[in-house]
Structure 1
Amino acid sequence: MAAVAALHSDTCGLSDPGTPCAAVGILRIGADTIDTLALSDVTLMVETEQGAQITCDLRIEEISGTEPAAVEGMLFGTHEHKAAISALVENQTQTRNRPDGWWVGRSVPRPATEAVFTCEFRRPEGRASRWRGGGRPVMIGGMGTSADAGDASAGQGHTLSLPEPTGPCPVGTTSLWLTDASRPDPWAAGVNTRELMVSLWYPAAPSDGRRAWYMTPAESEILIASARITGLPPDALSTVRANAVVDATPAGRQRSLPLVLLSPGFTNPRSTLTALAEDLASHGYVVAGIDHTYESDATAFPDGRVTTCLARQAPRPGRNEKVVAGRTADVCFVLGELTGAHPAWPGAGLIDTSRIAMAGHSIGGAATISAMLADWRIRAGVDMDGATRARIPAEGLSRPFLFMGTQASYTPGTPGRKSSVITWERDWKLLTGWKRWVLVEGAIHASFTDLVLLADQAGIYVGAGLSGARSLDISSAYVRAFVDQHLRETPQALLDRPSPRYPEVTFCSPEAETRA
C-alpha cells in the first residue's frame, strides 16, 4: 500500500479523509498453493479440487446496516436520495479504518493487518501452465503491481513526499537571510549579531518552475544522524517532494493577505512545518517559518555554513526560558523585517499588517504566548503540544488562543498529570478572550509536524496511533479554521463543537475537569 501510494502522491489527495481509498484483493501463487487476501468490498474466487473457494470482506455491509437498501429504493437524484447517500457516506466515514468498524486500503499499511485472508488453497491439478511466468500480476486497489517487486525499501528506495495543499491557490516559496545587528547571538559566544534563516510560503501565480527543496543534503545528513536513524540514506530528507515553487511570482492585492508566523520545536528546523505552511498559503495566507539559529540540529546558510544545535549544550536549568526569550526576540525582529518601512521581501506589500497570527510546535508553541505578550501586532496564537514558559500577567491575555495537544500529555484534571498540562491549566485561567483546548487521540508529540508522515513513508515506526497523513490533515484543518475565524472574521463551526469528520479530536473544559 505504501509503495502504491508513493507512486500516486503527485496526483491524488492522499491525506483527504474521504478519498482516495481502495478495495484490495491479492492472490499469492506458491509452488503448490494459492493464498488469498481481501480488504473491503472485494471478492476473490479460486477454483480448487474441492470446488470454488471464496474469500470476501463483508464488514462494510454489516456496519452500514439497512442504509444501502434504503438508498437503493429511492429515485435517483431526488432530495431524499441525496440525503440518504449523505447519511450512508457519513456513517461509513465515521467507522472506516477503526477497530470496531471496517477497513479499506489507504496510504498507510496498517489496514493490511486487518484484512480477511485464507491460506493454502491447493492448486488444481493440470493447470500449472496458467501460473507460469516471472512478474505475477497482483491487484492492489485497482492498480497493478508485481508480486516479485519485493519490498519498496529493498528495491527503488523510499519515496518521501508531502501532501498536496487543500486550497485553490498555487504556492510559491522563497528564503530570507536576515541579520539583526541590534543584539548578540544568545548561544554563540563572540557573535555580535543574530542571523536567521526564514522561509516564506505565499499564494503565487501559476508556474511550472522548480519545486523547493525540503532541506539541503547537509541538513538532512545531520538531522538523520542526530535522530540515530540507520535505515535511511543520509540525504533522504533533502529528496522530500514539497509542493511550493521556488521564487514564484506572488499573487494578490496590496495589503490583502494575512500573515502567519511559525516557530518549530527545539532541535527541529523550520522545514518540519512545511506541510502546514503550504496548506495555509494555498488558502491565501503568507506564512513565515523561522529557523532559530543554534536551536535547530542543522541550519544551512547561503554562504555554505551549516550551524548546529549549540543550545543543547547549555545548562538545563533556565535553558527553556532562555529559548523562549530568544525566540520572542526573533519573532519581533522578523515581523519588523516583513512589515517595516524597508521590508526584506519584495512581496511584503501584499501583507495586511493588521491581520497577523503565530503558531508554534513544542517550545515554539510556548514562545507563541511570550511573543504575543511582547508584540501587540500578533492578534491570535496557537500552541501545538508545547508546555508554556512565559508567565501571563494577572490582568490576562485577551487575544484569541488555541491549545492543541496529545491526550497523553495534555488531558486536564487527571490525577498525577504531567507538569506540561499544569502549565496549560495555569494559563487557561489567564486567557480572557476567545479560547479552545483540543486534544487529538492517537497523536504523539511529533504528529503536529511533517515528521510522522515522513517516518510512515520510510517504514519507520514511531509509536503513533494515528497516521502521519491523518494527523497533518487534522492539525492543518484546525489551525486554518482558527486563523480564518480570527484573522478573516469568518465563523468556523469546526471550532465550536466535535466534528464527525474528525472524531479523533475532543474538546476540553479544564475548569470542570479540574474541579472533578
Structure 2
Amino acid sequence: MKTVQSRKLLRTLFVMGLLLPTLVIAQKETSFVYGDALPDAPELSARGSYKVGVRTLEFVNKGQVDILNSKEGNDPLYDRPLTVEVWYPAAIETEGLISYDEVMGTNGDPNRPIIPFTFNGRATRDAAPVTSDGKFPLVVVSHGYVGSRYLMTYLTENLASKGYIVAAIDHTESTFKDAAPFQSTLLNRSKDILFVVNEMAAGKHFLSDQVDGDNTGIVGYSMGGYGVLNVAGAAYSEFAINFFKGMTGGSNALAVRGSASEEYQNSMDPRIKAVVAFAPWGMERGVWDAETLKGLKTPTLFVAGDQDDVSGYEKGIKAIYEGAVNADRYLLTYMDARHNVAPNPPPAEALQAGLHIDEYYRYAEPSWDQRRINNINQHFVTAFLGTHLKQKDYSKFLDIKEDSNEETWPGFVPRSSTGMELLHAVPE
C-alpha cells in the first residue's frame, strides 16, 4: 500500500515539477504589458524616470467642412468633435497597471463586427501632473485608417515617462468604432492634427502651464503619416486634389491643403520641430510629386517595412524619403516587414479561432515579433525626438552604419541588430 501511495506522490510531484514552470511563465506573461523591454531591447527603449498619468480630453473644431454630406460641390459645415488621450509626467510615488478599453473590427463591415476588449498599460488615470520641472515638449500622435488613440500606447506611455506630453487623437470617422467613407480621412487628417497641436500648445486645459508648445513633434502612422507630412510642408499634389474632387462629386475642399493655397502656406507652424512618419500612405497614389515634396523642410524620421503592400516601399515610402530633398531625414527600414511597423502587438482576443484574419493582421507583422519592433521604435524615436525637441546629443545612436548586419549598432545587445537599415540624408 505504501508503495502505491509513494508512486502516486512521485507522479504528483513530477507533474507539479512540469507545471510549476509553466505557471510561473504564465504569471510573468500577464505582468508583461505593451512596451515593456524584452531582454534584447536596445538601450533607449527603457522607460524614463517619470511616472505616467493619462487623461481623456474632448475638443471641438468648429465650422469644418462636412464632406460626407457634400453634394455637387456644395460643402456644408459642422462642428467636428475630437477625443484626445493625453499621457504626461505625473506627480505620483508608484505606478500601477491601467486597463484601456478598446475594440477590434470595423464599423459597418458585416464580416468584422465590433468586439470590445481591454489591455493593460503602465499609467495612472487622472493623476496630478508634475509641476516642479518646468515645461515638457509636446508630441501629437495620429493613428491609421482605421485605428484609435490607443493604437500605439507602447510609444505614448514610453515618451511620457521621458518627459514629454503626448496627445493621441481619435480621428472622428476614422476609428474602429465610427469608420466612415474614406474622403473624410483624406480631408480631415492634417486639419485634425493642426487643430490638436494648437489646442494643446496654446489652449486652456489641465496641462496648459506644463506644455512647451514651441518644441512640438508630430507622429503619424499610415494615414497618420499622410497627415503629419502635409502638416509639416508636403502639400497635396494637384492630382490628389482633382482625384478628391472626383470622388466627392465636385468638392474642392482638399485644395486648402495644396501648395497653391494661401491658407496652406499660412498654416506652416514653426513650433513643429520634428516629424515621425511610420509607413506613410499616399505616394504610390499620387498624393505628392517631386515639387510638393520639396516643401517638407522639418527634420523627419521615416519608418518602413521593405515589403509594405499598403503604402508601398520603393515607389512609396522610400520615394518620399528620397524626394524630400530639403529636409534632414532618416529612413529606418525593417527588412521583410510589411505595413504594421507602428502598432501595439495583437491583443489576445485577436488570436481566437473564427475571427477574420485581419483582426490579427491589423497589428501583427508576419516576419517580426511586434514587441521587438516596438522596442526598436522606442529607441530610435527617443533618439530622434530627443535631438530635435530636447537638444540632446544622440548622434551615436543615429549616425551609424547603414546596414545593421554589418556590425552591432550602438545601443543594441551584441549580435541583436539584424535585419534593418538606417539611411540618412541632409538637405540639398
Letter in 2 for 1:276: L
**2:49 is aligned with 1:168:** yes
> What is the CA-CA distance between 1:167 and the residue it aligns to?
1.4
- Residue 204 of structure 1: aligned partner: 90
Distance 1:227 1:481 in 2: 43
SS at match of 2:420: strand
- Residue 423 of structure 1: aligned partner: 316
Match of 1:387 among 281, 305, 318: 281
Greater relative contact order (Cα 8 A, min sep 6): structure 1 or 2? 2
Q: Deviations over 1:322-370 (max 9, x none)?
A: 6244111111111221122xx2422122111211011111111121110
SS at match of 1:270: coil
**2:376 is aligned with 1:474:** yes
The total of aligned residue pairs comes to 346
Letter in 2 for 1:403: F
RMSD: 3.8
**2:180 is aligned with 1:310:** yes
Q: Deviations over 1:371-404 (max 9, x none)?
A: 1124322211111112343556375422211111
Distance 2:199 2:145 in 1: 23
- Residue 397 of structure 2: aligned partner: 494
> What is the CA-CA distance between 1:228 and the residue it aligns to?
5.7
SS at match of 1:295: coil
Alpha carbons of structure 1 residues 463 and 288: separation in structure 2 relative to 1, 3 Å: closer
- Residue 253 of structure 2: aligned partner: none
For the 8 Å contact 2:103–2:176, the answer to whether it is kept is no
- Residue 166 of structure 2: aligned partner: 287
More off after superposition, 188-197 vs 449-458: 449-458
Distance 1:508 1:208 in 2: 37
**2:421 is aligned with 1:507:** yes
> What is the CA-CA distance between 1:477 and the residue it aligns to?
1.3
> What is the CA-CA distance between 1:452 and the residue it aligns to?
3.5
SS at match of 1:195: strand
- Residue 401 of structure 1: aligned partner: 300
SS at match of 1:265: coil
For the 8 Å contact 1:139–1:145, the answer to whether it is kept is no
Distance 1:394 1:446 in 2: 24
Letter in 1 for 2:198: G
- Residue 272 of structure 1: aligned partner: 151
Distance 1:177 1:366 in 2: 23
> What is the CA-CA distance between 1:134 and the residue it aligns to?
8.5
> What is the CA-CA distance between 1:421 and the residue it aligns to?
3.1
> What is the CA-CA distance between 1:253 and the residue it aligns to?
4.6
SS at match of 1:466: coil
> What is the CA-CA distance between 1:206 and the residue it aligns to?
1.2
Q: Deviations over 1:117-143 (max 9, x none)?
A: xxxxxxxx9984453338822358x84
Letter in 2 for 1:309: A
> What is the CA-CA distance between 1:182 and the residue it aligns to?
2.6
Structure 1, unaligned runs of 5 or more? 1-124, 299-307, 313-318, 411-416, 512-516
Q: Structure 2 matches for 1:103-114, cutoff 5 A?
A: none
SS at match of 1:474: helix
- Residue 339 of structure 2: aligned partner: 445
After TM superposition, the score normalised by the length of structure 1 is: 0.58
- Residue 52 of structure 1: aligned partner: none
- Residue 43 of structure 2: aligned partner: none
For the 8 Å contact 2:330–2:424, the answer to whether it is kept is no
Q: Deviations over 1:270-304 (max 9, x none)?
A: 11111110000001100010111011121xxxxxx
- Residue 77 of structure 1: aligned partner: none
SS at match of 1:240: strand
Alpha carbons of structure 1 residues 240 and 395: separation in structure 2 relative to 1, 3 Å: closer
Work out the percentage of aligned pairs sharing the same amino acid. 21
Distance 2:311 2:172 in 1: 29
SS at match of 1:397: coil
Alpha carbons of structure 1 residues 491 and 367: separation in structure 2 relative to 1, 3 Å: same
Distance 1:451 1:224 in 2: 21
- Residue 73 of structure 1: aligned partner: none
Distance 1:453 1:403 in 2: 26
- Residue 297 of structure 1: aligned partner: 176
**2:23 is aligned with 1:145:** yes
> What is the CA-CA distance between 1:311 and the residue it aligns to?
2.3
Letter in 2 for 1:438: L
- Residue 242 of structure 1: aligned partner: 121
Distance 1:476 1:292 in 2: 23
Distance 1:479 1:173 in 2: 20
- Residue 103 of structure 2: aligned partner: 220
Q: Deviations over 1:190-225 (max 9, x none)?
A: 77111100000001111568854422xxx5265599
Q: Structure 2 matches for 1:451-462, cutoff 5 A?
A: 451-452=345-346, 462=364
Alpha carbons of structure 1 residues 292 and 229: separation in structure 2 relative to 1, 3 Å: closer
- Residue 20 of structure 1: aligned partner: none
